[in-house]
Chain A
Amino acid sequence: MTPEKPLVEVEDLHVSFRTPHGRVEAVRGVSFTLGRERLGIVGESGSGKSQTGRAILGLTARNGRIDAKRMTFDGIDILKASPRTLRKIRGARISMIMQDPRFSLNPVVKVGEQIAEAYAIHAKASRRVSRRRALEMLETVQIRDPEKVFHLYPHQVSGGMGQRVMIAMMLIPEPDVLIADEPTSALDVTVQMQVLALLDDMVRDRGMGLVLISHDLHLVASFCDRVIVMYGGRIMEVLEAGRLHEAQHPYTRGLLECLPSLDRRQEMLPVLDRDPAWMTEARR
């Protein structure tokens, strides 16, 4: 439990989208706080986990609507904040990394330049200083040949290296909170572990708050301090990471049980029985 004031407070968040088929609610009444800790948000596709992360940063799509009783970051009301305030917060104080660096990096700009730009925008530094900082950052994310990688284009770097570049770019302004939306889903399993180890070190060294959004319950439980389980836009359960096996909610239990396990043989996997009541109940 963190005794200090939480970094992010979200109370009763609703995110809905206007579509030709009517109003679609992606997030329906989500509340949580984030301190200087590692919080995981786990859910399947359509659970609303990504939209929750984007709402914090005000990155919801244009046809979306955000409603909440409260949404604050470090005391600042980000629900009612002006676009100017949000722009100052984004990148500098709250950062986000996404799933596939091939799509989140600008394909026609060298990766080093992109990192340098991320620094220059917020520190208002000169080109020379920004480039030097970018090279330092590349070293910090354990890229072995920073000079060479600086001049590469995104399509020339592998998946794992691309994510390290993303992390460098997003952490160079030294934000307080990092939101990672499926940062390792597109990576090989050993590279996943290495990228997570990097995130682990950086978050710990800088005392940041981390929100890790993923569909992989075991991964999140092994990495984070607390885990939020989402389904149908709502929170089903909040767990302490080490206590996954004590999960109470039938959805969480169902999710755990339907995963094939390497340790024991099962003839048929138990199948998740979706209770329609989960779509309407409020979290206890």
Chain B
Amino acid sequence: MTMATQPRAAGLRGWLLDPSPASTWQARAQRGYLGWVGFRANPIAMTGFVIVAALLLAAAFAPWITATDGLTPNLGARLLPPSAEHWLGTDQLGRDIFDRIVWGSRITLYIVILVSIIVAPIGLAVGTIAGYAGGWVDAVLMRIVDIFLAFPRLILALAFVAALGAGIENAVLAIALTTWSPYARIARAEVLTIRKSDFIVAAEAQGASTFRIIRRHVVPLCLASVIVRLTLDMAGIILTAAGLGFLGLGAQPPLPEWGAMISTGRQFLLDQWWVPTAPGAAIFLVSLGFCLLGDGLRDVLDPKSASA
């Protein structure tokens, strides 16, 4: 058998490529590095990565990138077209649209992160327990999943928000309620494939508790699918949030939520096209970025498409 041999590189790169790591931390760092190298080689994935990174940076450095807070009206500068002073023009209250979009990225990020934090753990927990336990536990949990799967996302979100009142947090809860069930299915499917594997049997033979097996053996193998699905879902989450915002049920004015910006700006579409178009383009770009990132992550994390 021939193996590609390279001379030992020095420094950080050498540490990351060392064939005999000296600690768990080094081993994990090596795996991450190799994953990153594979990811970096994929131009589509990198495009997605750049877009998402831009979103994160814009949200983080908003106070330094923007000239105004995007909230204070300036009626003397209403509906100005894009120029050197206002890169994306101003809206009907004279607020700089570029600034509003940058501040709005924080809202978008907030919604996306909150939904992810709720949805992924619950979906994982339900799916892994159902898949590992089997029997009636599996049946009951999956019927609950089916019930939630049956609801169309936006309609349930509307109903929920209408009942609880408008606002970002309620919108987030509504979106989370309709988003978690597919993750339970994905996790359960992964668990079923590995359920009878020898390494699980070996852990059972050593006296490992069910909780330990699920936590240390099952969940790490489900994580990849869930992460990929989550990243691909983010586009949908952003669009749903924007939809709710468009209907006035998400973030309330004067918050620069992108969907709400489109809603209030749509009457100006013909003459001052930049007012609704800019936030629309932002939504499109960020959704696209997450989709491409998710695709790239799948290529790196999916063991079937990876090579050793």
Which residues of A come within 8 Å of B, CB atoms?
19-25, 46, 232-233, 279
Query: Are the C-beta atoms of A21 and B2 separated by less than 8 Å?
Result: no
Distance, CA A20 to CA B38, complexed state (A): 9
Query: Are the C-beta atoms of B307 and A20 separated by less than 8 Å?
Result: yes
Having A20-B307, A24-B3, A233-B2, one finds 13 other A-B pairs with CB under 8 Å, namely: A19-B307, A20-B38, A21-B3, A21-B4, A22-B4, A23-B4, A24-B2, A24-B4, A25-B2, A46-B1, A232-B1, A232-B2, A279-B2
Distance, CA A279 to CA B3, complexed state (A): 12
Which B residues are in CB contact (< 8 Å) with A25? 2
Distance, CA A19 to CA B4, complexed state (A): 10
- Chain B 27-82 interface residues, beta-carbon cutoff 8 Å to A: 38
Shortest distance in angstroms between A187's beta carbon and chain B's nearest beta carbon?
Answer: 22
Q: How many A-B residue pairs have CB under 8 A?
A: 16
Distance, CA A44 to CA B300, complexed state (A): 31
7 nearest interchain CB pairs? A22-B4, A46-B1, A21-B4, A25-B2, A24-B2, A20-B307, A19-B307
Grouping DSSP codes into helix (H, G, I), strand (E, B) and loop, the A interface class, with mixed when no group exceeds half, is mixed
Shortest distance in angstroms between B55's beta carbon and chain A's nearest beta carbon?
Answer: 30
- Encoded as 1 (CB less than 8 Å from any A CB) or 0, chain B from 1 to 21 comes to 111100000000000000000
Which residues of B come within 8 Å of A, CB atoms?
1-4, 38, 307
Which B residues are in CB contact (< 8 Å) with A233? 2
Nearest residue, chain A, Cβ from B2: A25
Which B residues are in CB contact (< 8 Å) with A46? 1
Shortest distance in angstroms between B81's beta carbon and chain A's nearest beta carbon?
Answer: 50
Which A residues are in CB contact (< 8 Å) with B38? 20
A-B contact pairs, 6 of them (CB 8 A): A20-B38, A22-B4, A24-B4, A25-B2, A232-B2, A279-B2
Residue in A20, A23, A232 with the greatest tally of chain B CB atoms within 10 Å: A20
Which A residues are in CB contact (< 8 Å) with B1? 46, 232
Shortest distance in angstroms between B9's beta carbon and chain A's nearest beta carbon?
Answer: 15
Distance, CA A104 to CA B4, complexed state (A): 32
Nearest residue, chain B, Cβ from A26: B2
Distance, CA A204 to CA B2, complexed state (A): 38
Shortest distance in angstroms between A279's beta carbon and chain B's nearest beta carbon?
Answer: 8
Distance, CA A25 to CA B1, complexed state (A): 8
Shortest distance in angstroms between B134's beta carbon and chain A's nearest beta carbon?
Answer: 23
Which A residues are in CB contact (< 8 Å) with B4? 21-24
Distance, CA A54 to CA B227, complexed state (A): 38
Which A residues are in CB contact (< 8 Å) with B307? 19-20
Which B residues are in CB contact (< 8 Å) with A21? 3-4
Distance, CA A23 to CA B307, complexed state (A): 14
Shortest distance in angstroms between A30's beta carbon and chain B's nearest beta carbon?
Answer: 14
Residue in B1, B4, B38 with the greatest tally of chain A CB atoms within 10 Å: B1
Which A residues are in CB contact (< 8 Å) with B2? 24-25, 232-233, 279
Nearest residue, chain B, Cβ from A44: B1
Shortest distance in angstroms between B43's beta carbon and chain A's nearest beta carbon?
Answer: 16
Shortest distance in angstroms between B34's beta carbon and chain A's nearest beta carbon?
Answer: 9
Nearest residue, chain B, Cβ from A45: B1
Distance, CA A84 to CA B302, complexed state (A): 36
Shortest distance in angstroms between B308's beta carbon and chain A's nearest beta carbon?
Answer: 8
Shortest distance in angstroms between A48's beta carbon and chain B's nearest beta carbon?
Answer: 9
Which B residues are in CB contact (< 8 Å) with A20? 38, 307
Nearest residue, chain A, Cβ from B6: A22
Nearest residue, chain B, Cβ from A22: B4
Which B residues are in CB contact (< 8 Å) with A232? 1-2
Residue in A21, A25, A279 with the greatest tally of chain B CB atoms within 10 Å: A21
Distance, CA A43 to CA B307, complexed state (A): 24
Which B residues are in CB contact (< 8 Å) with A24? 2-4
Distance, CA A275 to CA B227, complexed state (A): 46
Which B residues are in CB contact (< 8 Å) with A22? 4
Shortest distance in angstroms between A270's beta carbon and chain B's nearest beta carbon?
Answer: 22
Distance, CA A21 to CA B4, complexed state (A): 6
Which A residues are in CB contact (< 8 Å) with B3? 21, 24
Distance, CA A233 to CA B307, complexed state (A): 21
Residue in B2, B4, B307 with the greatest tally of chain A CB atoms within 10 Å: B2
Nearest residue, chain A, Cβ from B1: A46
Distance, CA A46 to CA B2, complexed state (A): 9
Distance, CA A25 to CA B38, complexed state (A): 22
Which B residues are in CB contact (< 8 Å) with A23? 4
Distance, CA A260 to CA B26, complexed state (A): 41
Shortest distance in angstroms between B226's beta carbon and chain A's nearest beta carbon?
Answer: 25
Shortest distance in angstroms between A29's beta carbon and chain B's nearest beta carbon?
Answer: 13
Nearest residue, chain B, Cβ from A63: B307
Shortest distance in angstroms between B31's beta carbon and chain A's nearest beta carbon?
Answer: 14
Shortest distance in angstroms between B33's beta carbon and chain A's nearest beta carbon?
Answer: 14
Distance, CA A282 to CA B307, complexed state (A): 31
